[in-house]
A = this chain, B = another copy of it.
């Protein structure tokens, strides 16, 4: 099944085909060249890019000695190529291309989280049947080796939960809103100008990109199949700078977290803005940086931090995957490292919980008419729904006649909170929709 079985092949360079020369592909190409000597010292083999597939010219890259094809399938069908790097993005052509590479007996390295979150079960199944690797360190948290950590480094542990800042664009926006008191829309425009956010920022700011990544992390952590469609996903577009600032007054930061948690009833999979205590290390991860906090039964909490995007960071992850594969060539690796951390026949069928069944504390912001009795009504409704109050912050009036009231609650099942918010919004003296942001202590 494995390539390069013959002893004679062990000294031959390993040949890489890269499909797509955007940020990730270009980063990997440059890195393989710049650090060729260092990498060869680590692997005992030379690694060369022999074939590149790209639908247009990329004059910024030196492609001397590299075959360049406009037909990207020419790369996966090239008998000389040992490892295919798929970095075109998207899910339709990418899926065909990866499956074709696998069918051709080639190892694959991909950075494509959308592809894996949606078609990973099919792709890994094909790879296992064919005896090739599909490696994907660059798919989550860029250059931070979080895939390897979950699959190998923490392999002794039963993982209880993980919480990650896994979208740099969102974290940049929230950091700017807090540090400079800016509005969401204003920072988003800057992020787009800086190249941190796409022209259509939906994937980033609505949490879809984070949900793709969380799908992958949860599968590795708990040994469950990839289930993107079950992730509860909420963006950061409705957060105001006031919310960010009130949270800070109360000792919290707002982060856009992806959270996967094992409970007695099933797995929680959720991406949403979250208040976390400011003294937590992960609360202090700012700008475009990523971090993943993992709580496991033996080691306790560990945290992994670094650049989540950019040519260097993603190139580093792609090339680390290549190094892993090269180091394991000549190997008939029956019990090797499984794609999803657990052996394919040992994936568990634990249910993923609906978000209504999730229990968290809450930050609530109500805009109330500035008259007596309103607060009494509010606390009565919360109490009737079994919700205890942790803190109340009443701010001076901003608009004529109304005052913002901020409430931190103790943990409550989302279903009950929904009912309580329905009751609050029905009050005559509550004038705007109630803003809610979940709060996680992330105790560790």
A positions within 8 Å CB-CB of B: 10, 27, 31, 34-35, 38-45, 137, 142-145, 148-149, 152-158, 223, 281, 284-285, 296-307, 312-313, 315-320, 322-324, 326-338, 341-343, 346, 348
Q: Would you list the 9 A-B pairs with minimal beta carbon distance, nearest first?
A: A145-B153, A143-B299, A156-B319, A302-B306, A41-B346, A299-B316, A298-B316, A303-B305, A155-B323
Contact B45 A335 (CB under 8 A): yes
Within the oligomer, what is the number of copies of this chain?
A: 2
Known A-B contacts A145-B153, A298-B312, A342-B41; A334 and B323 likewise in contact (beta carbons under 8 Å) = no
Q: How far does the Cβ of A427 sit from chain B's closest Cβ, in whole Å?
A: 42
Beta-carbon contact of A156 and B31 below 8 Å? yes
Chain B residues closer than 8 Å to A149, beta-carbon distance: 145, 148-149, 153
Q: Which residues from chain B contact A143 at a C-beta distance below 8 Å?
A: 298-300, 302
Beta-carbon contact of A306 and B307 below 8 Å: no
- Across the interface, which residues of B come within 8 angstroms of A155, CB to CB? 39, 42-43, 319-320, 323-324
- The answer to whether A312 touches B331 (Cβ under 8 A) is no
Query: Which residue in chain B gives the minimum CB-CB distance to A28?
Result: B156
Which residues on the B side are within 8 Å of A348 (C-beta)? Answer: 41
Tell whether A223 pairs with B44 under 8 Å between CB atoms, given A299-B313, A300-B306, A327-B337.
Answer: no
Smallest Cβ distance from A267 to chain B, in angstroms?
A: 15
A319's closest neighbor in chain B, by CB?
B156
Q: How far is the CA of A155 from the CA of B157 in the complex (A)?
A: 25
- Contacts of A331 on B, CB cut-off 8 Å? 328, 331-333, 336
CB of B313 within 8 A of CB of A298, answer yes
Chain B residues positioned under 8 Å from A316 (CB to CB): 154, 156-157, 296, 298-299
A243 to B226, CA, bound (A): 52
Separation of A149 and B327 alpha carbons in the complex (Å)? 15
The answer to whether A285 and B281 touch (CB under 8 A), given A331-B333, A335-B10, is yes
Pairs A–B under 8 Å by Cβ, sample size 23: A10-B334, A35-B298, A38-B157, A38-B158, A42-B223, A44-B343, A145-B149, A149-B149, A149-B153, A152-B324, A154-B316, A154-B320, A156-B316, A156-B318, A156-B323, A298-B319, A299-B317, A302-B305, A302-B306, A304-B304, A328-B335, A329-B335, A330-B332
Q: Give the distance in Å from the alpha carbon of A333 to the alpha carbon of B337 in the complex.
A: 14
Q: How many angstroms between the C-alpha atoms of A284 and B330 in the bound complex?
A: 45
Q: Which residues of the other chain, B, contact A327 by a CB distance below 8 angstroms?
A: 333, 335-337
Q: How many angstroms from the CA of A313 to the CA of B44 in the assembled complex?
A: 32
The reply to whether A336 and B346 contact each other, CB–CB distance below 8 Å, is: no
B residues within 8 A CB of A44?
334-335, 338, 343, 346
CB-based contact A341/B145 at 8 Å: no
Q: How far is it, in angstroms, between the C-alpha of A158 and the C-alpha of B42 when the chains are bound?
A: 11
Complex alpha-carbon distance, A78 and B260, angstroms = 43
Contact of B335 with A35 in the complex, beta carbons under 8 Å: no
A333 lies within 8 A of B328 (CB) = yes
Instruction: Report the separation of the CA atoms of residues A233 and B302 in the bound assembly, to the nearest whole angstrom.
Output: 27
Residues of B within 8 A of A322 (CB): 156
Task: Report the nearest B residue to A302, measured CB to CB.
Answer: B306
Closest beta carbon of chain B to A290's beta carbon, Å: 10
Q: Who on chain B is nearest to A324 by CB?
A: B152
A299 contact from B42, B154, B312, Cβ within 8 A: B312
Q: Inside 8 A of A346's CB, which chain B residues have their CB? A: 40-42, 44
The closest CB in chain B to the CB of A137 belongs to B153
A336 to chain B, nearest CB (A): 6
**Residues of B with C-beta under 8 A to A43:** 155, 335, 343
Shortest Cβ distance from A346 into B: residue: B41
